[in-house]
Amino acid sequence: MSRSVEVLDQIAKSDTAVFAFDANDLVILWNKGCEELLGRSAYQVLGRHCYDIMCGRDMYGNLYCCPNCPVTVQAREHPKDPVQRFELDVATGDGGTRRVAMTTFALPGPRPSLATLVHVIRIPGQNASPLEGELEQAVTAPQKPRTPLRTPEGQIAPLTDREQEILRRMARGLATPTIAEQLFISPVTVRNHIARILSKLDVHTKLAAVAFAYRNGLIAPEGGASLPVHEPSEPATSGTKKANRR
């Protein structure tokens, strides 16, 4: 398992408020800490642009969270000049705002522009959490590029209709027993399907599979139409998925 994926798994289980977004600025992880601090569920934010969720403004009221915001540009394009901790007023689920302190980490990708960015959020004045130490180590760990499973013809192995159903439910954060109940199959069958999904996408965790699916248009953002499947700009980390349609 890559160091980045290991850390993303730790983030998902952590009580510290953390979220992560991919090279397209789409949220791929929103943990329980974020849900509690900002009053938005993971189901509401996964697959949406981070700036549309946070709507962050600086202490003077200037809009900070936007496409190509200075934080993402600096974190991805200037990795030797790390982003310093900063404070923002961000949107909350009840329509209000909350001032938070944010620490940014770029989990390495095959090149800086494809790094996964992680924001650790806390109340201003609180001490740094142990998770921030884990992230400090992760950003310096070398990453090995991965590629999805391919057929003998060179095409990426398609997901079956059932595997697509399960992947969509994984993206909603549903546990294996819940998926089994909804699809009227056994939990063992669900686990077997998940194992095949991970094998085809060449990832090691459900979280990584969901991230791959969002990045390659296999799952539509909440409330949106299905995204088109596209050719990747980096063959080493992503690929088209010519999945069977219903």
pTM of the model: 0.58
**Structural domain ending residue among the three candidates 86, 111, 138:** 138
**Residue 5 confidence (pLDDT):** 59
Q: What is the DSSP string of the chain?
A: --HHHHHHHHHHH-SSEEEEE-TT-BEEEE-HHHHHHH---HHHHTTSBHHHHH--B-TTS-B--STT-HHHHHHHH-TTSPPPPEEEEEE-TTS-EEEEEEEEEEE--SSGGGPEEEEEEE-TTPPPPHHHHHHHHHTTS--------B-TTSPBPPPPHHHHHHHHHHHTT--HHHHHHHHTS-HHHHHHHHHHHHHHHT-SSHHHHHHHHHHTTSSPPTTSPPPPP---S-TTT-----PPP-
List the single range of 9-23, 140-154, 220-234 with lowest mean pLDDT.
Answer: 220-234
Q: How many domains does the chain have?
A: 2
- Are residues 134 and 170 both part of a single domain? no
**Structural domain ending residue among the three candidates 93, 109, 138:** 138
Write the pLDDT tens digit of every residue in 230-240. 333 333 333 33
- What mean pLDDT comes out for the span 91-120? 84
Write the pLDDT tens digit of every residue in 207-224. 888 888 777 766 665 544
- Are residues 128 and 196 both part of a single domain? no
- Are residues 11 and 109 both part of a single domain? yes
**pLDDT band at 157; cut points 50, 70, 90:** low
- What mean pLDDT comes out for the span 137-160? 57
- Are residues 91 and 150 both part of a single domain? no
* CATH code (residue 197): 1.10.10.10
Identify the residue with better confidence: 84 or 232: 84
**Structural domain ending residue among the three candidates 138, 172, 200:** 138
* CATH code (residue 111): 3.30.450.20
* Domain that includes residue 47, residue range: 3-138
